Amino acid sequence: MRVIGLSGWSGAGKTTLLIRLIPHLVAEGLRVSTMKHAHSNFDVDVPGKDSWQHRQAGATEVLVSSGRRWALMHELRGAPEPPFRELLAKMSPVDLLIVEGFKADHHPKIEVHRAANGKPLMFPTDPTVVGVAADIAVDTTLPVVHLDDIPAIARIMRAAAVPAEAVLAYEGAGV
């Protein structure tokens, strides 16, 4: 499994870009999974459903399975958020894992930049950025492509992704 990230400030369009990239990469024959860092109060379950009631009752983990999919939810119950490396180790192997967010962690990332955000570019101070997808011209030696150029972004992803083992072995990542 190879790992590449999309990183950028909130509102840059990471999720929008990702949902355009996934079908393109799948059409190229890749099996793709994603890992997203979310704000602390997100939910993937519908209040009132059985799995939601199990979690509300105090279950640490709830696995829901059907003939179409399964999902495992783990409640931290006050424990600290697991580090990126620990979460990465839980992922099932695929051809390409695209990580959205986790911008402080050590894995290669394509910076997603939208000028209207008014935020600075991250790549000058983030050595893990291996390319930039932006809606403006960017002066750098890194590969730079337009946010709408899905094939070009996919090429950068494929070229810059690293084996998951390399990310897991990085000593500075903490556990």
Over residues 124-138, the pLDDT tens digits come to 999 999 999 999 999
By C-alpha distance, which of 126, 82, 133, 120 is closest to 108?
126
Categorize the per-residue pLDDT at 41 as very low, low, confident or very high, splitting at 50, 70 and 90.
confident
Q: Are 129 and 142 in contact (CB under 8 A)?
A: yes
Cα separation, 15 vs 61, in Å, equals: 27
Q: Are 153 and 133 in contact (CB under 8 A)?
A: yes
pLDDT at 49 > cutoff 60: yes
Q: What mean pLDDT do residues 143-150 have? A: 98
Instruction: For residue 132, tell me if it sits in a domain.
Output: yes
Instruction: For residue 96, tell me if it sits in a domain.
Output: yes
CATH of the domain at 145: 3.40.50.300
Domain carrying residue 152: 2-41+80-173
Cα separation, 99 vs 93, in Å, equals: 14
Task: Give me Rg for the CA atoms of the chain.
Answer: 17
Instruction: For residue 62, tell me if it sits in a domain.
Output: no
Instruction: For residue 106, tell me if it sits in a domain.
Output: yes
